[in-house]
Amino acid sequence: MKVAISLPDPVFSAAEKLAHRLRVSRSQLYAQAIEQYLGEREEALVTEQLNAVYAAVNEPIELAVAAAQLGAIGHEAW
């Protein structure tokens, strides 16, 4: 699909330089950037929905369940 978009000059210039450095076409760079952005938005939407579900639950979490959850994630950097 061909599309026409308008970009600020600095964004266009930076994208041109990056595409050249990565040795990909401008179209490929833009397609990859949009795909990545859409994936990140999808993840953020899932997080927002989960946060809403958990905020609606007023039941305290059992101590054993909380300990198991913390043990399951290990020492990941968030």
Q: What is the pLDDT of residues 7-43, one digit of tens each?
A: 999 999 999 999 999 999 999 999 999 999 998 888 8
- Kindly state the tokens that stand for 59: 């039941």
Question: Phi first, then psi: what are they for 30, rounded to 5°?
Answer: -65, -40
What is the residue extent of each domain of the chain? 9-73
Q: For the residues 42-71, what does the mean pLDDT come to? A: 82
**Structure confidence at residue 76 (pLDDT):** 67
pTM over cut 0.85: no
With a cut of 90, say whether residue 70 has pLDDT above it. no
